[in-house]
Structure 1
Amino acid sequence: MSVEVLRTAIMDFCRRRKKKTFCPSEVVRQLFPQDWELFMPDIREEMMQMYREGLIELTQKGNPIDPNQNPGGPVRISGLAKPK
């Protein structure tokens, strides 16, 4: 899976959703409707990289996650309120 494809898809979701959050699985379900579960590790790795770079926000139960630890359980992605 190309990193650029995932980054572009995540940023496209951020643009379309405006300030609404979304699940990383929504991104891979759109890209790979049949085999989306196979791509969850890829999307989670890329979303964490983008979060650490300050490109997106990641929350868990409404709270920002620690950028130094991979979160367990469901997370939500959103675009930045104020781009850095």
Structure 2
Amino acid sequence: MIPDVMEIAILEMCRVRGNSSFCPSEIARWLYPEDWRDFMPEVRESMMNLYRDNRISVTQKGVEVDKNFLPKGPVRIQPITKKR
């Protein structure tokens, strides 16, 4: 299986940010600063794949989104904090 560059970037941003949430556009801007808007569909698809695999949290207005649908409008990505 070939690693998904977008998924790796999302997980790396989670690692760097700690518990802070971030916008999916930050991933696209980080990887493709000139044409970042063109890559937003891929970022959002990778985001949802990670979310469905319970590797990240995706919220909209502070509420987790439905894993069965690609959310419309602004969302936030956040790492899932491990409970000890």
TM-score (norm 2): 0.92
Contact 1:24 1:75 in 2 (8 A): yes
Please say if residues 3 and 46 of structure 1, whose CA atoms lie closer than 8 Å, have aligned partners that are also in contact.
Answer: no
Residue type of the partner of 1:21? S
Q: Extract structure 1 runs of 4+ deviating beyond 4 A.
A: none
Which runs of no fewer than 5 residues in structure 2 stay unpaired? none
Aligned to 2:76: 76
Match runs of 1:1-84 below 5 Å: 4-82=4-82
Q: What is the TM-score when the length of structure 1 is the normalising length? A: 0.92
What secondary structure does 1:57 align onto?
strand
Q: Secondary structure at the match of 1:22?
A: coil
> 1:56, CA displacement in angstroms?
0.4
Conserved in 2, the CA contact under 8 Å of 1:14 and 1:79? yes
Q: List gaps (5 residues or longer) in structure 1.
A: none
Aligned length in residues: 82
In the alignment, the residues of structure 1 paired with residue 78 and residue 25 of structure 2 have an alpha-carbon distance, to the nearest angstrom, of 13
